[in-house]
Chain A
């Protein structure tokens, strides 16, 4: 037992999870913004806008996240000298956030689009009938309802993002949970299973409340029809 407890003094386990939470927070912000713009493009009346949105989603959604994160570090930074500022670690952190945001934006876009599908035709017709054109109708009538209808898929995307934030390890973010765990189990081969369970339970503790919150929010905010 003492043997096990010593890992908490030797390694900064809560700190590692804090890095993942920070990665998730900034990436979620970016993904939500970009994803909303993409969703608008994909539902617009202009064919070329729809094509731009659809190509982005189809390309990014079918690419492994590992490649996207690796691309940031090896290609953008390593080969092109692209720097997002900050020190060495800060730059890797920002590149990882960028990769995570770009990847999950495709899923946010699809989540919002599925939310748009829950809005009844009459709402759009009513918006047009009172003289709103595309953007005002989207802003005032469609999107507010679409977001409320998209809470469950958006929540699932957030959960996926929390878990995928560990992939930042590929992008040389050495302080996050999976890299920390890797170092720990390599040096403490005697307690491999307890270390894994510690980190696994950590993620369960973070992820399950998000799932419950999503379910509760989706019920509370459901549009009464």
Chain B
């Protein structure tokens, strides 16, 4: 039972090496102390990190995309960057707002308060007290178990709300509305600086004047990739780098 397959041993060794680093040990201590802000924050940070990497990949992709005329590349890349930054900023902002202790408490009390308030706690207590199989359960044990359920629900609620606020409300609902007018501004600003006489970018020409978020940007798809796909049906940056 305690042997490790030699084929997977390098991965196990890597995990063991990483588990000795400060990063996971610090996280472990935070989980032990039930530091909800850190735990929920790490969840949102994970999503934000992926968006950040996605943004970096798209900007790099746009800047190196030979299918886009050279003078238009900075504009497309700027759109990618604006959108990526906006997504990251809004997700962090939403998390900071929602994960605030006062906000969380108010929301939790509003939604779950009635299940865990004093009258219902007493109701469930009376219920269990009257059942022979739980007749020897003391008030202390009851309070402990009831509080344990409450804490689990509260923690799950906190995590869920933070993630939903950041990834659904922030990224999928608010970003599109902010990104659309912002894209116009960026477009105007960059348009002044482009040498091209037409001033109309490829993105516009392709009917993609808005940022990807306006179109409901994917985690992994950018305006540049949309542009590319439109032109070539293939925007794979891996292939480009592989050349």
Do chains A and B interact in one complex? no
